[in-house]
Amino acid sequence: MAGVFDQIVRQQEADETREKEVLDQFDEPTDQAHTGSAIDAAGETTWEHEEHVNHDASARTDVKLREVAQELLRMGLLEERQRPYHYRAALVAMERLNATLEPLDLCARADEVRGLVFLAVRHGDADEPQDDWSHPLVRKQRLNLEQTLLVAILRQYFIAHEQEAGTGADDAMVAVDELIPQMQVYLGESGSEARERTRVLQLLDQLKGHGLVSAPDSHERVAIRPMIAHLANPENLTALLYELKARVTAESSDQGESA
């Protein structure tokens, strides 16, 4: 009996041992080294991604500077009177603004006396004639004779106003009725007052698009904007003078041949 009992006990112990081995196979602990490295790898990847995102954010131009640059590209100029926020921001960050515009071969120039920041084409060669420049983002628009003549007349009014009120003084105004006889001196009379007025109003509207004048007010007066001091420079005025002299000479020749 004892032998049989011992046999049964040994059989139970053997079964328990095999059952434990099977359970141990299912309950085998995960490789801690592998688990740790997986967590570390995931953590490292996440950190690298966050670092990349943060790097991209820090590499971008400041949002205020981007806004100023975009406004300058859109308008071509920033006046303190009309865009005080953008104008002051441009002055404070002028060096960084020009660094932003440099890849486009553009630059910002400031006239602090007149409260003006305007866009200009950056010339690569100092010896390059400025009349020969070309730029893929800037369309060159030449003023015709009548437009140039009106710019010169408006500049006279603007300079006279600055001489009286001081350089940088705003509110330089001129009435349309004052401009009509000034234009007639050089272009002659058409014989129709309504036609003369229409011609001057059309020219003023064209110059408004260049940022040189405002729209006429209720009294048919226009404000002369400070950009005119830079557009109507001595070189352009000299070219206008030659053009007018050539036109007078040609008309005199035609009259002599007719006589």
- In tens, the pLDDT along 211-247 reads 899 999 999 999 999 999 887 666 666 766 666 677 6
In this structure, what token pair is assigned to residue 110?
């400031």
How far does CA 156 lie from the centroid of its chain? Answer: 30
pLDDT digits (tens, 9 = 90+) for 132-175: 556 555 555 677 888 888 998 999 999 999 999 888 887 899 99
Write out the two tokens for 171. 């509110």
Instruction: Tell me the domain boundaries of the chain.
Output: 2-59, 63-132, 145-258
The pTM is what? 0.63
Q: CA 223 to CA 172: how far, in whole Å?
A: 6
Average pLDDT, the chain: 75
In order of 9, 10, 97, 206, the CA distances from 2 in angstroms are 11, 12, 102, 123
3-state DSSP assignment of residue 190: coil
Q: Any idea which architecture 63-132 has in CATH? A: Alpha-Beta Complex (3.90)
Residue pLDDT, tens place only, 27-68: 555 444 444 434 444 444 444 555 555 555 556 778 888 899
Fold exhibited by the domain 145-258: Arc Repressor Mutant, subunit A (1.10.10)
**Which amino acid is residue 208, in one-letter code?**
K
Q: Are the CB atoms for 157 and 211 separated by under 8 Å?
A: no
Contact indicator for 240, 152 with CB cutoff of 8 Å: yes
